[in-house]
Structure formats: C-alpha cells, structure tokens
A and B are shown apart, each in its own frame.
Chain A
Amino acid sequence: MNNHSLAKLTNGRAVKLDAIPTLEFEGFKQAILDGTAAGQRVSAMFGDSTEQADITQLYVVMADDEQNRLCVGRTQIQGDKFSSLTPDCPQLHLFEREIAEQFGLKPIGHPWLKPVRYCHSKTNRDAWDRPANESILPAVGDFYQVEGDEVHEVAVGPVHAGIIEPGHFRFQCHGERVFHLEIALGFQHRGVEQAMIGEPTNRSIHYAETLAGDTTIAHTTGYCQAIEALAHCQKTARAQMLRGVALELERLANHVGDLGAISNDVGFLPTASYCGRIRGDFLNMTALLCGSRFGRGMIRPGGVGFDIDAHCAADLLCRLDKAEKDTANAVNLLWDTPSVMARLENTGILPQRVAVELGIVGPAARASGLVRDIRQDQPSGIFRFSHIPVSACDNGDAFGRAFVRWLEIQRSIKFIREQFAAIPAGSPLVEVGPLAPDSFTVTLNEGWRGEVCHTAITNKQGSFARYKIVDPSFHNWPALAYALRGQEISDFPLCNKSFNLSYCGHDL
C-alpha cells in the first residue's frame, strides 16, 4: 500500500519537470487514494493549462510525514470533465472545486460543486456553463438548506459587526442548535497566483508578503525558498537562523493575540486586555529585527534583508524575558478560572477521524491529536538542525486549540533563546542567480496557522509558468463548518476565534 508511482521530493528542493511522472488518470487516482490510506495527506492539488486548449494538466503534492518527504505526480485531462475523487477522499473537496472554477473542468460525482472564489475561469470553458460576459458575484447561489417547519436560516456577513475580513456564513438552525453551516468566501480574491506568473519582479515579493497579512514571514519564506531552490542558491546558516527566529516571533504574536481574542469572546476581561498588549510587545520584537511589526522586508531571496548585531540580540532577549513572564501571568488565568474553562471545554469538537479525513493542518490538527508539524515532519532551514517538540493535545475542542497555542508559545520562546545563544557567523544575504528552466519545486513551512505550501513551475525561459499557493486556511475552513454541527449558534464566534482562519489567505 504505497504510491510508488509518484516522484519523491524533499521540501524546498527543485527537480526537473521531466522527473515528475505523468500518470494515466486511473493511476493518478489510485496513487492519491493509496497515499491517503497509508497516512499521507494532500498538500496541494492544482491544474495547469498546456499548449493544447483541451488538455489540462493536474498536479498533486502529497506530504508523507512518516518518511519526511513529498510525493508529486501529474496527469492529463482531455476534454472538460474528470471523475471526482472527493467521494473517496474528502480532503480534495475544495481543491476540486478550485480546479473546476479555474479551468472549467467538471469533476463528475463531486457532492457539492460550487465555485470557491467566484471568478472567471482561465480557459474559455465554464464548469457551470455560465456565459462568459456575465459578471460573477461572490456568495450568490444556492446554499445547503434543511427543510422543516421549525428550522430557520441565519445569514451572517459579509459585512460583520466587528472589524474583520468579509465572509458569508449560512446557518441552518433548530432553535439555538446549528444543524449545518456553510461558508462562502471569495470576497477578497485578488488574483495573486496569476500575478506571480512570469519573471519574478520587484513586486512579486510584496505579493508574497501580503498574501495573508498576519502570515507575512511564513509566506515570504515559502516564496523565497522556491526561488532559491530553482536558482540552486545556498543560504548561510545565519540567514536561516534569522528566518527561524522571525517565523517564531510571528507565531508568538499571533498565538498570544488569539488567546486574548478567545478570552474576549467568552467575556473574560483580564486576559483579553493583557494579551492585546503583549501581542504588541511581540510585534515590536519583529520590528526590532526589521523595522516592520509584521515582518515586511525581513525575508528576501538569498537570505534576510536585515542582519542582527549583539546589542540588538541582547535587547530582544531582554524583551523576550519580560514578555514571557507577562504572557504566563495572563494566560494561566484562563486555565485557573472555572467559568472560562466551562466555556472552552467541549465547545466545537473536531474529532480526530474527521481531522484526518478533511486534511486539517496546524494547531487545529494538533489539538485533535494529530502529530502534524512541518517543522518536524518536513523540516527546512534552521529546523533541520534545531528541533521544536510538537505540541499536541487530544481534546479537539476550543480548549484544545487554545492550549496547543499556549504550549507552542512556551516552546517558541525557548527556541529563540537557544538560537541567540550561538548566532552563526556569515553574511545575511547571498546573491541569487537566474531560475532553472523547466523545473518544479515545493516549499512547505509551518506558519502559525499551519502548513504554508508554495509550488512553482518554471518554463523554458526560466520564469514562472505556474505558481500555486495553499494557505492553511484553505485546508481548515471546512473544519470550522464541521466543528459547529450540533453546537449552539451563540458559540460560533468562540469556535471561529479558536480556529482564527484567514479570509484573504483563502481567497488569494
């Protein structure tokens, strides 16, 4: 039971495009099913157009966490339809909808074929046979409905009461109880993948930095690693260490902010307001490194844009000590307050079996007992040398997701301290050459929300022919919808915060 027909890759290494086998569709399907049966998961599945208009290429990137490697394969689809894999492999659900939307291919047998981002396809086909000149409005269309006299429907968004991103949520409720939740996104679709195609320009790095504003470091690292892999560039140990520190600082700021937001949603003031401030302290540490609180300008192809000196490192460590103490004080209040625990425990449970089937990543997966962490499973950069233990918990509820964040906060702080104990010498930035032609690379990074996957394919001229980004939110939105089944509708904001997914990372 293994998918030997796929090419084996390492995270952040480039191979010639020829090395990726083109399978018959049946073989491609079997390779994916065998892989998921053997415990692999789908990191990305995407289409790519070929020179012939009626042939579309499908790529799949499977992560084999046991063997610490990636399995990549492709197939060619002739015509405008293919047989859907979703009934056998639910984690492909959104990927197939995306392929249908972008390339006008109909996945026959897909149980819930709707657009993902409500945009026009790249080809002259349309999976829903809509006329080409018709404008497509987000979240317009049929939603899943539950029939019954006592069933009522609640629609929330895209404009929300708080200052958050736009998304539409459709609840089917029976009194206070939620039967079903359907989420419609796509309001923030900007076409980043399309803009990345061609020679990397001065703008490309800024697109990467703003893919999801709170995941700047992880996305930019993914993008830079892809360029470095394709250009066969060797970074210095110093640059890799600084990238690791920046990534963990991003995780710290967001996890602390999330814990504050979670306690705000349960109406517990002390932690909410202290965490809001401490998040700022961590953001300021990133600003100390590179001058931007969100890490803009820190990661650059070939290394990092800003070096660190002994004085800055000492200052950062001193701030870290203080922030660590403050965080412990604020966060431990949560676990010690019975009324808070009563709200968090058994709220929004995501069972492990479902997390596996939906291919959930990041803290949400680890809270459901899946030991899944790119820093351990597919390490790149500094994480090959310096390990961070995986923080997991098997509750699968809002408490689990909050507690995993707290564990990760403590371990990230320890990691940064270890790195600063021995800062390697070397230049922070090295020259990056031209990209290798006809090549393929996948980079995975553990952002604070989970796996950030960037896949790049170059053409004969050595510029990007296809650039595919998978934000962890793309994997995890269905988990939120699932976790809300049978819950009370008034617990939705809390469940939502415990996942805290990105809208723009999903919409791209």
Chain B
Amino acid sequence: MVDKLIHILLLLTMPPLLLGIINKTKAWFAGRNGPPVLQAYYDIIKLMRKGMVISRTTTWVFIAGPIVTLATVLLAGMLMPISRFNAPISFAGDLILFAYLFGLARFFTTAAALDTGSPFEGMGAAREVTFACLSEPALFFTLLVLAKVSGSLTLNNMLHCPAGAFSVAMAAPLVLVSIGLFIVLLAETCRIPVDDPNTHLELTMIHEVMVLDHSGPLFGIILYSASMKLFILGAVLLHIISPFQTKTIWMNWPLFIMEMFGLAIVIGIVESVMARLRMRHIPYLLISALLFCGFGFILLVRYYQ
C-alpha cells in the first residue's frame, strides 16, 4: 500500500524535475548557468494561475485535447510498474491498453490542433501523426520482445523479469530494443534530434506548434502531461537497461530516482552535442528505431524456435 502511494506520488510530482535536469545539463554544455532545476514547476504553477484565451472558432474538442491527454497519460503511469514494485493497476493484456493510451492522447492532441483551423497547427498535426506511424510500431515491437522474454502479457511481469531468468540469447534482442526505445523516447517527448522543445519558429516545430493556441491552465496541463510522458517512457527504458535491484527493498526507490536523473542527463547531453535533423530525415531515424526493435523481435523468435 505504501509502495502504491509512493508510486502515485512520484508519478505526480517528479516529471517536471526531469525537464529541469535536462535544461541544466544543456546549460552546462553551453557554458551558462541556466534556469533553476525547479523552473518547470514554476512555469506550470504560473500557467495554472493565468486566464485563458479561447478562439471563437474552436469547439469542445479544443478544451478536451489537453484534459484527455493528461487523463490518458496518468492512467498509463498507473499501469506501469516502477523499479521492483508492482503497478497500482494491473491485468493480463494491459500492455495493449498502455500502448494505445498514448495513441488516444495523440488523437486528442491532433484533433484539438485541427480544431483551431490554423495552418500551422494543421502542419504540426500532419507531422505528428506521420511520425507516429513509425514510432508506434517500434514501441509495440519493444513490448512484444518483453512479452516473449518474460512469457507474460502483464506489464508487471514483463518489466520485472527476475534476473536469473535471463539467458545470453536474450541479450542481443534487449540491446537492440533499448536503442530503438531510446529513439522512440526522444521522438515521443519532442526532444532533439526529432523536435526542438526550445524553438519558437512556428514553421519548424512538431509538437509545440500543435499547442500554439492553448494558453493558461490548458497549456500548463499540456506541459505537465508532456513531462509525465517522458517520465513513463523513461521508466520503461530503465527497466530494460538497468534491471539492478538492491536487497533492501525501500532502497529501490532512491535508486530508481537516481537512475531517472541519469537518464535525464543523457538526454540533455544528446541535445547538446547534436543539431536537429532535417524534417525530411526524421522518418529515417524512426525507421531505424523500428528496425532495431523489429530485428530484436525476429532474433528472439528465431531463438525460441
């Protein structure tokens, strides 16, 4: 029970901190002090206290977009186990729900963007769904590999497979899917090299351009759910790349938090050392993520034959 409460508490409070750490890392590379680590919290609180400007041409879909996104991402967070602890909600086949909750969030975000009728937002929505066609299968292959490795269709069992059950043959597929999943993580959370979260150029953005018309609390919700998405996908990735656990059970919480910080620093480093890809080249990167995950799955299936 306590673990479930800690799970919910972490899920609700930790995500914006990751943005702060990514930005601090980037600032360090650029030789600046950068914004405070807690800046994302200040931003969200500030936005929550602001008023909203809602265009007369929009309908309820515009308001539903951010709210449904937050709800779906929260639910996905409840389905996902953290470290060695079980998820608050779990049932057989929950991996399908997990994957499609992200799909539902995307559907509502793009629908809200199209609802404004602005050409920029239409462009952003078109880009978002085009790239999702490639990142979604990659995420699915990752989940399939995990299901095959663990022999279970429940996220709880899939994600913490006991260390003893691993065989050497699983190593290669798992390495491949972790690379693929990392690329999917960067794409889904709009980081460089796929999207530039800091840009203000309406013609080049993907995710940011879809939410141009949202303001005040709605925009705060968007920022909050985007950081939560980063947290969830990051936690999935950590399960694969770092299955280490300590003997002292409660110590796994701080260990997880440290690992999460490490992941945020890695993302910050990736953003600092490379430029954004040309829009035309982003599908290549996503296809390579798809191939990594798909090839991992094929290897694994061959092994079990």
Chain A residues within CB distance 8 Å of chain B: 152-156, 161-162, 175-176, 263, 265-270, 272-274, 277, 337, 339-340, 342-343, 347, 488-493
Contact = CB atoms under 8 A, between A and B. Distances in A.
Given A176-B279, A273-B31, A342-B281, A152 B204 contact: no
- Leading 4 A-B pairs by shortest Cβ distance: A267-B276, A273-B30, A268-B275, A161-B200
Contacts of B199: 265, 267
Q: Which range contains the number of B residues in contact with the other chain? A: 20 to 34
A152 B204 CA distance: 17
B30 A272 contact: yes
Given A270-B29, A273-B30, A274-B31, A263 B275 contact: yes
A267 B199 CA distance: 8
B251 interface: no
A76 B184 CA distance: 68
Interface string B266-293: 0000011111111111000000000000
Contacts of B202: 156, 161
A82 B10 CA distance: 76
Interface string B199-228: 111111000000000000000000000000
A176 B123 CA distance: 8
A158 to B, nearest CB: 13
Contacts of A491: 204, 278-279
Contact of B193 (A162, A265, A339, A493): A339
Given A154-B119, A270-B29, A273-B31, A161 B278 contact: no
B304 to A, nearest CB: 38
B278 A343 contact: yes
B26 interface: yes
B192 A267 contact: yes
Interface string B174-216: 0000000000000000001100101111111000000000000
24 contacts: A153-B119, A156-B203, A161-B202, A162-B200, A175-B126, A265-B201, A266-B275, A267-B199, A267-B271, A268-B274, A269-B271, A269-B272, A270-B30, A273-B30, A277-B31, A337-B274, A339-B277, A342-B277, A343-B275, A343-B277, A343-B278, A488-B279, A488-B280, A491-B279
Given A270-B272, A339-B275, 8 more contacts: A162-B201, A176-B279, A270-B273, A277-B31, A339-B276, A490-B203, A490-B279, A493-B204
A428 B200 CA distance: 46
A128 B31 CA distance: 55
Contacts of B141: none
Contact of B201 (A175, A176, A339, A493): A493
A347 B281 CA distance: 13
Nearest to A333: B273
A337 B127 CA distance: 26
A489 B193 CA distance: 18
Contacts of B193: 267, 339
Interface in B117-151: 119-120, 122-123, 126-127
A488 B281 CA distance: 11
A340 B271 CA distance: 12
A268 B277 CA distance: 10
Contact of B119 (A155, A162, A175, A340): A155
Given A267-B199, A339-B193, A488 B278 contact: yes
A489 B203 contact: yes
A492 B203 contact: yes
B56 interface: no
A179 to B, nearest CB: 15
Contacts of A270: 29-31, 272-273
A435 B279 CA distance: 57
B302 interface: no
B23 to A, nearest CB: 11
Contacts of B119: 152-155
Nearest to A491: B278
A465 B192 CA distance: 56
B123 A489 contact: yes
B32 interface: yes
A162 B202 CA distance: 9
Nearest to A346: B278
A492 B123 CA distance: 14
A13 to B, nearest CB: 45
Contacts of B278: 342-343, 347, 488, 490-491
Contacts of A268: 274-276
Contacts of B277: 339, 342-343
